[in-house]
Every structure is written in C-alpha cells, then in structure tokens.
Structure 1
C-alpha cells in the first residue's frame, strides 16, 4: 500500500467523523416515524393485543365463579364444530346481513339519486333522512320496540287502513324482518350521504354526451353513473357488511334472540355464551369465528374490486 492510499484512507475517515449524524434523510425519517407512532401504538394496544388475548382465551376454560383458568387446547373449537345451535345462528346471521346490506344499499342509492336533483325541498329531505344516524342507538331501538308491539303505533296505522297487523317482534316470520328494517332506517342516511357526494362528483358533460348519443335514462345510469361511483359502492358495501355482522343492541333490546333462535345472530350468541352462561373460553372462540368471517368477506370484496370498480381493472 502506497503512502497515497494511506493518506486517502485517513482523509476519508476524518471526513466521516466530521459528517453530522442527523442528516436531512434521517430527520425526515424520524418525523415520519413520530407521525405514525400514535396510530401504530393505538393499533397495537387496541387491536393486535386484544385479538391476541382473545385467541389465548379461546384455548382456556375460564370459570369466573369458581376462579379457575385451565388450558384446554382446541377443546373449545371442537365444541364449536359440534354445537347444535351453530347452524341456526349462522343462518340467522346470513339472512340478517344479506337483508340489511341489500335494503340499505339499494335504498341509500335510490334516495341519493332522488335528492341529487335541483328541486325545492331537497335540503330538508336530506336532513330528514340523515337525522336518524345522529339519534342514540338504544333510544332509537326502544322507541321502535313500542311501535312494533301488537298494540303499537305500526299496527295502529294499519288498523286505520283496515289491516290487522301481527305482533311484529314475536312472530318467527316477522321478527328478523322487523329488526332489519329498524336498522336500515337508522343507518341508511349515512350511505345516502356518501352516495350523494359521489353522484355530485360525476361530470355533467358525460351525461350530456351520452344523451346526445341516444342513451336513455337507464343506460346512462348503468354505463355512466354506476362505473364512476363504483369506488363509493365498494366502500359502502364493506362498511355495511362489517356493520351488519356486529349488530347487538338492536337484537338485545327488540327480540333477545327470539322467538326461538330466529334472530340469534352470531354476536348475540357470543354474548349469551360469554356473559349469560359464563362460558368465556367458548365466547372467545366465537369471537375468533366472527373475526374470520369478517376478514374473509372483506378480503373477497376487496379482491373482486378489479372486476367492477372503475380505475381498478
């Protein structure tokens, strides 16, 4: 090694010592980490950690009254597969979710299209349909509990028209439908506002061009409106599906899972097992099942977006 090489190495080491540690890229990276750290900490503390504990509890048999906490491995999952009520619970959950999602999205889109017109009174009706979203869920449900009784307000209105209405919350054929309708009326305003914002973002020039090409109202809706608001349709469908699988207060107040098990959805069955029957380990197992169902349905919707969502193909 020559003297020149040795001199270059010494000079390089001296320059490295003089280089500041907090360079601009490092400072930018630190700022980025500081900005995301609250969200990251919240996700760890309130999502990942609770989910890990639920999975751990599903492997235990926790008897609060006796004060025992015993590891049982997969016994709770074997109980889940052999549970004779699980078929009825999953059927009620599927019917409730399907009815809620279809009615909610269809009604919300219809209202958004009607209220997107430049007519007198649209502001009033927008406020009217959105106001139930702001009402307390429990208060809303209690009011509807009185309205849907055999001598309630709904049957009173039907009696004026000469129709003898049933006890809506006590009939196996009407209880689930009643809960679905109550939930749809409560939350349809939220999806309506999202659809309304999406509709107002559709350029008017596209409608005018389609009209000049001879496209009718239905063709313009199918070929122009639906593709351009498809990202909002995806968002509202995911929100509505996840929300439909987490409904509890309405069932607890209106029907308590009855009559029979016609309105016993998975979340309410989870509550019964964990907090009424004190089967906390089995309740945690049902929570894991609920998480898997929500995750699979969300993943399926997200993967299918490339086939029908605009700009995703």
Structure 2
C-alpha cells in the first residue's frame, strides 16, 4: 500500500495562524468590562433584594424571638384585610399627585422664565438649584422649625396681622406643608432639565410662527411643548417614582400624623417592619410598593406614543 501524503507549499507552511485576540474580540471584552460594575451592582443591590423581599413576604420573621416561620400567603391576606391600608393609599395618592403636579408645573414655569435673556438669570439658577444639593435631613429639620406654631412662617404672618395655624399638626395643612417642602427641595433638578430642553428648541420655528401671526401662547403650545415632551416624560417618571419613595420628610416633619393623614406607604412600611417588628408584613408592603411603581412606570412608558413628539 502506498501512503499518500499531502504536500504543502512553502507559502502555506509559513502562513501564520490567525490571532485569537482579534480587534473585534478585544473591543467586546472591553465593553463587557465597562458594563461589569453596573451589571454586578444591579444584580447585588436590585435583583437579589427583590428576590429576598418576595421570600421574606412568605414568612413571619420575629427578630426578638429569633423565629423565622413559613406562613405562605397569610401576609398577603393580612394586606387585603388591613383596615389602615385604604387611608395609607389615599395619603400616598394625595402626596404623589400634589407633588408631581406642583413640581412639574413650577419647574417648567421657572425654566421658561430663566430661558429669557435677562440679567441675573445665572444667580437665579443657582438660587433655585441649591436646595437640590443641600442635605435632605438638614433641609427638612429647618422647615420643621419654620412650620411650628411659633415658627418663622407664623412669625411672618403675625407681622401682617394674620394668625397662622400649626401647619404640621392640622389635618388640613399637614399634607400641603409636606408637599410644598418636598417641591422646594427638588424643583431645581427638573428646572435644569426643562431649561436644557428649552435651549435645544430651534429658534427658526419661533420666527416662522411669529411671521404666521401666532401668539406666544400658541407658539408655546404648538412648538415648545411638543419638542420638550421627551423631557416632560423623563421628569414625570423621575418625579412619580421619587414621590412614592419619600420617607425622611414624613419621619422628620409629621411622623405620619396627625392620625394617618400623612402616613404614606413607605412610612407605613417602616412602621410595620422596624417599629412593630413584623418584618414579613413589611416585606409584603414592599412588594405592593414595587408593583405600584412598576405599574405607573409601564403606563407612563406606553402613553409616550400618544403625546411624546419623537415617538409619534
């Protein structure tokens, strides 16, 4: 038998093997390394806590007695039977609606005013944005003293002959006071976002509208609002989610009172878990909060196709 051997040409013998670490693979590895910290943080601080909260909601964890018992859906049945939950959800709705509407309206108004070419606009920008970088607890404590019956707000009212109420201890004014304090704290952030969006609107459109005889209000409604609608969507999502997570302001200003008039869902969760030590029921309230935030975010995201300019 004859053995057939393949004869390689000198060019084939000297041809180098293709390198494994090609430019494309190096670029992919670089991209994965860049996103690895964010991905790891999302898994550790978002996904894992979500799974644990769901697991804890099926148990009753008594830290004082050192017991951890599986109770199935008992905590969810307790959630449905909780007599305080309707008033808590009502307070949460009032706080979120008041905060979102007042914050977005005031932020847009300030952005429109600061977008005018007037003297001193830089000073006003810093003035309105400075509360955003101030410590939240310090800001709330200062307002707590100002809103007392003998505080600074009522002192100013006394100078004009008006007797102010105890803002934080009256059911009619406590919620309004908390909303206003929170609006003043964060309105500067939305103002800056709106201001950046307004400065990105082409001036040629306004000039064409003036030539056609459009009023300022018509130009604002037909040109400005559609073109900054993506920013409105962004700020509305941020503000809605933030309004559902407010805790420090309630804890410092009203402690949920008077009664349960300012007991929002996050503060009620804190009371159940860390004051009454019912961690299982607190985890169930956390699941409810997560579902509410998820539902509102999904609804806002799907509605964008109807009123966001670039999505139409």
Normalising by the residue count of structure 1, what TM-score does the alignment of the two structures yield? 0.94
The separation in 1 between residues aligned to 2:34 and 2:114, in whole angstroms, is 40
Deviation at 1:18, TM superposition (A): 3.9
> Pairwise mapping of residues 186-265 of structure 1 onto structure 2 (< 5 A)?
186-265=185-264
The separation in 1 between residues aligned to 2:200 and 2:167, in whole angstroms, is 41
Q: Deviations over 1:259-302 (max 9, x none)?
A: 00000000000000000000000001101110110011011101
The separation in 2 between residues aligned to 1:149 and 1:31, in whole angstroms, is 56
> Pairwise mapping of residues 1-313 of structure 1 onto structure 2 (< 5 A)?
18-313=17-312
2:10 paired residue number: none
The separation in 2 between residues aligned to 1:187 and 1:111, in whole angstroms, is 13
Query: What secondary structure is seen at the aligned counterpart in 1 of 2:201?
Result: coil
The separation in 2 between residues aligned to 1:34 and 1:195, in whole angstroms, is 34
The separation in 1 between residues aligned to 2:52 and 2:263, in whole angstroms, is 25
The separation in 2 between residues aligned to 1:20 and 1:122, in whole angstroms, is 59
Aligned length: 305
1:10 paired residue number: none
The separation in 2 between residues aligned to 1:40 and 1:273, in whole angstroms, is 32
Query: What secondary structure is seen at the aligned counterpart in 2 of 1:169?
Result: coil
1:11 paired residue number: none
Query: What secondary structure is seen at the aligned counterpart in 1 of 2:68?
Result: strand
Q: Deviations over 1:169-197 (max 9, x none)?
A: 00001000000000001111111111111
The separation in 2 between residues aligned to 1:295 and 1:51, in whole angstroms, is 13
The separation in 1 between residues aligned to 2:31 and 2:151, in whole angstroms, is 58
Q: Deviations over 1:50-81 (max 9, x none)?
A: 11111111111000000000111111111101
The separation in 1 between residues aligned to 2:116 and 2:21, in whole angstroms, is 57
State the superposition RMSD in angstroms.
1.9
Q: Deviations over 1:133-173 (max 9, x none)?
A: 11111111111111111111111111122211110000001
Unaligned segments of structure 1, at least 5 residues: 8-13
Q: Deviations over 1:100-120 (max 9, x none)?
A: 000000000000101111111
Query: What secondary structure is seen at the aligned counterpart in 2 of 1:272?
Result: helix
The separation in 1 between residues aligned to 2:154 and 2:34, in whole angstroms, is 56
